[in-house]
Amino acid sequence: MIHPALRAYQTVTESALTGREAESICFRMLIDELEAASQSSDLHVRNRALNRHQRLWSMIMRANIPDNGLAVEEDRKLFVRMADQAQKYGIRAILDSGLSLMPLIEIAENVLAGLETVSGGIE
Top pLDDT among 51 and 21 is at 51
pLDDT for residue 77: 85
Q: What global pTM score does this model have?
A: 0.76
At 18 the pLDDT is: 60
Containing structural domain, residue 60: 4-119
pLDDT 10s digits, 64-95: 777 766 667 888 888 889 899 999 999 999 99
Q: Is the pLDDT of residue 121 over 60?
A: no
What CATH code is carried by the domain that includes residue 47? Answer: 1.20.120
How high is the pLDDT of residue 17?
A: 54
Q: What percent of the chain has pLDDT over 90?
A: 49
pLDDT score for 90? 97
Task: Report the C-alpha gap between 113 and 81 in whole angstroms.
Answer: 18
Number of domains in the chain: 1
